[in-house]
Every structure is written in structure tokens, then in C-alpha cells.
């Protein structure tokens, strides 16, 4: 344990950080940034070499649209009326549909009978290449995933490969697919990634804020009735010493009362990017009549959904590393390989958690019950609260049942966050709309542990300890020696 503690400390020193990331010009997977900049129509030059995207705007029709009988008849104003006269949205664009939540959601929506198009620039896969990380589970290319889905179910998913920060690309995708709803997962979603160095902080905010702004402009310009379902985060609220409401709080101040956006206290450049998004969305709902739902999601765990389990080519990614892995998933991998569970600091950090099967359910519920024009709706999307210590205790108990010797180590906290605090967040709106939660049970933890044990030979234990320090972030771009 002492050795682990000291190694975690040394991993957060600037000297060891130097050895963490590879220089981009030495990275065999790097694209040519100069070409990428020249070919982009975006007025915003992409400034950072890790911010490289496919060189050209590419619209890939992975499969033909073959379900015209089920497709809604679109009015010229882009209304949601379908051929049956109801107002159920039918055509859903999933931005970020190749990622952890996005892929599972795309398959779920397709299975539920929606016409789905995935928009993705595949940059999440590129981050792994840059940082030398990999999913616990082997994952197929997006093209093979979609082909496999079509061959198993007969259902087509359209694919648009490109960067939503390039408005020309996004416009073409919008005009071609004509979505009734857009689910926006297409953001850099790791807090540690956003805290690696200045360039990653800037990339995260530029990518996330401009991407969302472009989606708002695309809706206004091409599909004004389209419902935006935006993935926000519970981290927008921080950890205030009062109950957290769903988006808004009614305050009486100096004898006057108003219902106002709940105060935001995000604690990473990533979480802050979502705060900025929320403000932009709220403003455009008011100013242009956009209809939007902000899903303030908690920490997601798990990997299997009924659809991803249909074939190994449909398997989802599962991150366990210190940059993209999230608490419970990481603990299950750590237990499987005999690594002490990495509780940061005192371990009293409490967050809302949910099973990935509930992520896909919540998104579908939001789509099926759209916000009204001009409405900015906020749902807190999680099902249960746990502290990090509670999660560690649950994994220890479940591991013991499987004969694993699970230890816990207190790692010096690489983040700046409250380690003991009050936390009580409301989360009733999705339940009221019909969410049936999958709570974290012994049997689920068993199955998650069995899953991580199955793939344990793929674990790179060097990726487990945290290596990004909130306090040591600086302007020098972090690079890796080979
Ligand atoms: O090995 C670990 C990993 C995490 N933590 C602690 O667990 C808590 C949650 O950390 P996390 O890495 O599981 O999640 P977080 O960085 O907050 O981000 C994740 O969960 C967010 C929801 S929330 O946490 O803001 O509610 C999403 O927005 C993000 O996209 C997703 O990556 C933090 O207090 C962290 O310090 C540990 O103690 N040990």
C-alpha cells in the first residue's frame, strides 16, 4: 500500500507527467493538422494538434434508408407529425453515437423503431490512440457495428462521419436526415482529460461549446421543431450544502420571489463546458423558441444493454483508465486484476449514479415526451446516490463472494473537490415520465465483476492510477516519450 501511495504521488508530479503523453508529431496515429485546417469550412481554426478531426467532411451512408413505410411524413415546416397523425418523433440524430452512451442509445432507439442516424467524428477513438489507452472490451469499427446491426435486425442506421464544429458538415447532415430529435452526446466528456494541460482545457471548451452552438443554429435554420436532447451533467451543480433541484430553484429574496436556474458550481473545465452549454441552450429556447431537454446525467456504470449483447461486434466500450474510466467501472476492473480500489482522498465524494440501461431508457423517454417550443426542460438523470467509500465497500463485498481479495487504498486526491459534504439531489421527473430504474443490486455487481474478470487479461495496469492533477495543470502541452 505504501508503495502504491508513493507511486500515485509521483504520477502527479510534473516530471512524471512529461512521460505521460506522446508528442503529437511522434504519434503514428496523428492526422495532418495543416490539411485538416485548410479543408475545414469552419471559421474557427482548430488550434491544437490533438484536436485533429477527419480531413474532409464525409457523409457516409453506411446503409440505404430502407424503412420508408415506417418513416414519418415531414411537413415543410419540419413538424413532428407522422403518417399516423400522432406527434411521436420518428427520426433521431444521435451525435456522438460511436461513444459509450451514444452507441448503446443508438441501438436502443433503432430497436424501438426510431429512424436513427449517427453523427460522429470518431475522435474518442483517437484520444485512446494519443494517450495509449484502450477499452477493456474489444470494439469493432463503427462501420462494422452498423453492418452487424443491419444483418441481425434488418434495421438501418445512417452514418455521418464528421465534426459538428464544422457547420457546413452539420448543415448537410441536418438537411439530409431531417431529424425530429437530436440527441447530443458529441462532447469531450472526461473531466481529467480537460485538466491535462491548457490545450486540452481549451479544446474541451471549444469543442463542446461551439459544437452545441452549431447544433442550436442548425435547428433554428433547418428544423425549427426539432427537439434537442442534450447530455448535461449533474456536475454542473457541484456539491452545495442544500438540496439540488431539477434545473431550477424558487428563491425569495428581499420579499420578492422568482424561479431561477439552479446555481452552477462546476469543478473541471469539462464540467464548466456543460454549464456554458446550458446557458446557450436556455437563451436560444427563450430567444428563438427552441425546444430542449437538458439531461443532467450522473456517473454511468455497466456495459451491457440487450442490444449490445446481441453480437460481439455490437459490444460497447468499457473504460477503466485514470482519464476516461469512471468510479464504479474502474473499481470492478481493479477488483478483477487484484489492484487496490483507488479511493481519492477521504472518499466521501457523493454523486448520482445510473446503469447504462437506464441511460438509454431516459433518453428514449425524453424523446418520446418532447419539450414544448421555447421550453428549456432540465431532468436530473440518475437513479441512486453513493459516496466513493460506499462503492468501494459494495465492490469489496461482491468481490469476496467471488473469492477475490479486494483491498482499498486512499490515493492523494488528484482533483480539487469536497471530500466530505452534504448531497441530496432530486431526480423525480424521469420517474414521473415512466423510468423503471435498474438499481445497483448484488446480482448486477456480480455480473459486472464477472464481466471484468472475463476481460482481465486485456487490462494495462499502468493505466489505473490517476495521472492528471487539477492543481498542476499548466500551459506546457503534455507529451509522452515512446
Ligand atoms: O478511481 C477513482 C475514480 C473516481 N473517484 C472519485 O469519484 C467521483 C466521480 O468521478 P468519476 O471519474 O467517476 O466521474 P466524473 O469525473 O465526475 O465524470 C463522469 O461523470 C460525470 C457525471 S457527474 O459526476 O458530474 O455527476 C459525467 O458528466 C462525465 O462525463 C463522466 O466522465 C469523483 O469524486 C472522483 O474523485 C475516485 O475516488 N476514484
Secondary structure of 142-157 in HEC code, one letter for each residue: HHHHHHHHHHHHCCCE
Q: From the candidates 160, 193, 270, 353, give the one annotated as an active-site residue.
A: 270
Q: Which helix (H) or strand (E) holds 461?
A: none
Pair 297, 227: CB distance under 8 Å: no
Query: Which residue spans within 185-282 are E strands per DSSP?
Result: 227-233, 248-253, 256-261
Nearest ligand 1 atom to alpha carbon 324? 32
CA of 354 to the centre of ligand 1 (A): 12
Q: Which helix (H) or strand (E) holds 161?
A: strand 157-161
Pair 154, 147: CB distance under 8 Å: no
Of 193, 230, 199, residue with least CA distance to 319: 193
Domains (range + CATH), the chain = 91-463 (3.40.50.720)
DSSP 207: I
Among 299, 378, 419, the mutation site with the greatest number of ligand 1 atoms within 8 A of its Cβ is 299
Q: From the candidates 22, 53, 274, 304, give the one annotated as an active-site residue.
A: 274
pLDDT of residue 87: 62
Of 423, 419, 401, 400, residue with least CA distance to 410: 419
Cell of residue 277, nine digits: 452549454
Pairwise CA distance, residues 303 & 317, whole Å? 7
| Ranges of residues in the chain whose predicted pLDDT is under 50 | 1-86, 481-482
Strand pairing of 384-387 and 350-355? antiparallel
Residue 234 in contact with ligand 1 by CB distance below 6 A? yes
Nearest ligand 1 atom to alpha carbon 347? 38
pLDDT of residue 41: 35
Catalytic residue list contains 286: no
Residue 185 in contact with ligand 1 by CB distance below 6 A? no
Pair 215, 164: CB distance under 8 Å: yes
Alpha helices in 75-225 (DSSP H): 100-111, 123-131, 142-153, 167-177, 191-194, 198-205, 211-222
CA of 39 to the centre of ligand 1 (A): 36
Q: Can you state the angle between helices 198-205 and 269-288, rounded to 10 degrees?
A: 20
- Looking at ligand 1, which residue's alpha carbon is closest to its atom 16? 191
384-387 β-sheet, strand order = 299-301, 350-355, 384-387
Pairwise CA distance, residues 58 & 119, whole Å? 10
Pairwise CA distance, residues 238 & 413, whole Å? 17
Cα 458 to Cα 140, 255, 308, distances in angstroms? 16, 61, 20
The distance of Cα 437 from the centroid of its chain, to the nearest Å, equals 19
- Looking at ligand 1, which residue's alpha carbon is closest to its atom 36? 344
CA of 226 to the centre of ligand 1 (A): 31
pLDDT of residue 88: 73
CA gyration radius for the chain? 22
Q: What is the pLDDT of residues 294-349, one digit of tens each?
A: 999 999 999 999 999 999 999 999 999 999 999 999 999 999 999 999 999 999 99
Pairwise CA distance, residues 314 & 144, whole Å? 9
- Looking at ligand 1, which residue's alpha carbon is closest to its atom 35? 344
Residue 363 Rama label (left phi>0; alpha psi -120 to 50; beta): alpha
Nearest ligand 1 atom to alpha carbon 328? 13
Nearest ligand 1 atom to alpha carbon 415? 36
DSSP 244: B
Q: Is the CA virtual torsion 377, 356, 125, 153 positive or negative? A: negative
Residue 368 Rama label (left phi>0; alpha psi -120 to 50; beta): alpha
Residue 410 in contact with ligand 1 by CB distance below 6 A? no
Pairwise CA distance, residues 125 & 144, whole Å? 15
Nearest ligand 1 atom to alpha carbon 322? 1
Of 146, 273, 164, residue with least CA distance to 216: 164
- Looking at ligand 1, which residue's alpha carbon is closest to its atom 30? 189
CA of 319 to the centre of ligand 1 (A): 12
Which string of DSSP letters, residue by residue, matches 19-80?
A: TTS--GGG-TT---HHHHHHH---SS----GGG---SS-EEE--S----TTTSPPPPTT---
Give Dmax (Cα) for the chain. Answer: 67
From the number of C-beta atoms within 10 Å of its C-beta (0-12, 13-18, 19+), residue 475 rates as exposed
* pTM of this structure: 0.86
Catalytic residue list contains 274: yes
Residue 81 Rama label (left phi>0; alpha psi -120 to 50; beta): beta
Say whether 409 sits in a helix, a strand or coil: strand
Q: Which helix (H) or strand (E) holds 419?
A: none
CA of 327 to the centre of ligand 1 (A): 6
The distance of Cα 279 from the centroid of its chain, to the nearest Å, equals 19
Pairwise CA distance, residues 411 & 327, whole Å? 13
CA of 350 to the centre of ligand 1 (A): 10
Among 12, 351, 380, 382, the mutation site with the greatest number of ligand 1 atoms within 8 A of its Cβ is 351
The distance of Cα 286 from the centroid of its chain, to the nearest Å, equals 26
Catalytic residue list contains 38: no
Pair 156, 150: CB distance under 8 Å: yes
pLDDT of residue 89: 77
Amino acid at each position: 500500500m505504501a508503495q502504491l501511495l508513493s507511486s500515485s504521488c509521483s504520477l502527479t508530479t510534473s516530471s512524471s507527467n512529461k512521460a505521460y503523453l506522446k508528442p503529437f508529431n511522434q504519434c503514428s496515429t496523428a492526422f495532418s493538422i495543416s490539411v485538416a485546417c485548410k479543408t475545414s469550412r469552419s471559421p474557427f481554426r482548430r488550434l491544437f494538434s490533438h484536436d485533429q478531426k477527419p480531413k474532409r467532411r464525409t457523409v457516409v451512408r453506411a446503409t440505404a434508408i430502407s424503412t420508408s413505410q415506417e418513416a414519418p411524413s415531414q411537413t415543410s415546416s419540419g413538424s413532428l407529425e407522422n403518417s399516423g397523425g400522432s406527434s411521436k418523433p420518428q427520426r433521431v440524430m444521435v451525435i456522438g453515437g460511436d461513444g459509450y452512451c451514444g452507441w448503446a442509445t443508438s441501438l436502443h432507439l433503432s430497436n424501438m423503431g426510431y429512424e436513427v442516424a449517427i453523427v460522429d467524428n470518431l475522435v474518442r477513438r483517437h484520444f485512446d490512440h494519443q494517450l495509449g489507452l484502450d477499452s477493456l472490451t474489444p470494439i469493432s469499427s463503427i462501420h462494422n457495428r452498423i453492418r452487424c446491426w443491419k444483418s441481425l435486425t434488418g434495421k438501418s442506421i445512417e452514418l455521418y462521419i464528421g465534426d459538428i464544429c464544422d457547420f457546413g458538415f452539420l448543415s448537410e447532415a441536418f438537411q439530409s436526415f431531417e431529424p425530429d430529435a437530436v440527441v447530443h452526446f458529441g462532447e469531450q466528456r472526461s473531466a481529467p482529460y480537460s485538466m491535462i494541460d491548457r490545450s486540452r482545457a481549451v479544446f474541451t471548451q471549444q469543442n463542446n461549446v461551439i459544437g452545441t452552438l452549431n447544433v442550436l443554429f442548425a435547428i433554428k435554420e433547418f428544423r425549427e421543431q426539432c427537439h434537442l436532447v442534450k447530455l448535461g451533467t449533474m456536475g454542473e451543480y457541484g456539491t452545495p450544502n442544500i438540496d439540488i433541484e431539477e434545473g431550477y430553484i424558487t428563491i425569495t429574496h428581499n420579499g420578492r420571489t422568482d424561479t431561477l436556474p439552479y446555481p452552477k458550481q462546476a469543478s473541471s473545465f469539462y464540467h464548466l463546458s456543460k454549464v456554458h452549454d446550458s446557458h446557450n441552450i436556455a437563451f436560444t429556447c427563450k430567444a428563438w423558441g427552441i425546444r430542449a431537454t437538458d439531461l443532467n446525467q450522473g456517473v454511468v456504470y455497466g456495459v451491457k444493454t440487450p442490444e449490445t449483447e446481441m453480437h460481439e461486434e455490437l459490444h460497447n466500450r468499457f473504460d477503466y483508465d485514470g482519464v476516461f474510466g469512471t468510479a464504479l467501472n474502474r473499481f470492478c476492473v481493479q477488483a478483477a486484476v487484484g489492484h487496490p480500489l483507488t479511493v481519492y482522498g477521504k472518499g466521501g465524494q457523493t454523486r448520482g449514479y445510473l446503469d447504462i440501461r437506464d441511460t438509454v431508457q431516459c433518453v428514449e423517454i425524453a424523446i418520446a415526451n418532447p419539450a414544448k417550443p421555447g421550453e428549456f426542460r432540465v431532468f436530473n438523470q440518475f437513479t441512486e446516490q453513493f459516496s466513493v467509500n460506499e462503492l468501494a465497500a459494495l465492490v469489496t463485498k461482491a468481490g469476496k463472494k467471488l473469492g477475490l481479495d479486494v483491498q482499498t487504498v486512499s490515493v492523494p486526491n488528484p482533483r480539487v473537490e469536497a471530500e466530505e459534504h452534504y448531497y441530496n439531489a432530486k431526480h423525480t421527473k424521469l420517474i414521473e415520465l415512466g423510468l423503471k430504474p435498474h438499481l445497483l443490486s448484488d446480482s448486477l455487481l456480480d455480473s459486472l465483476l464477472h464481466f471484468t474478470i472475463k476481460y482481465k487479461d486485456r487490462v494495462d495496469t499502468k493505466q489505473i492510477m490517476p495521472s492528471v492533477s487539477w492543481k498542476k495543470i499548466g500551459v506546457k502541452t503534455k507529451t509522452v516519450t515512446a
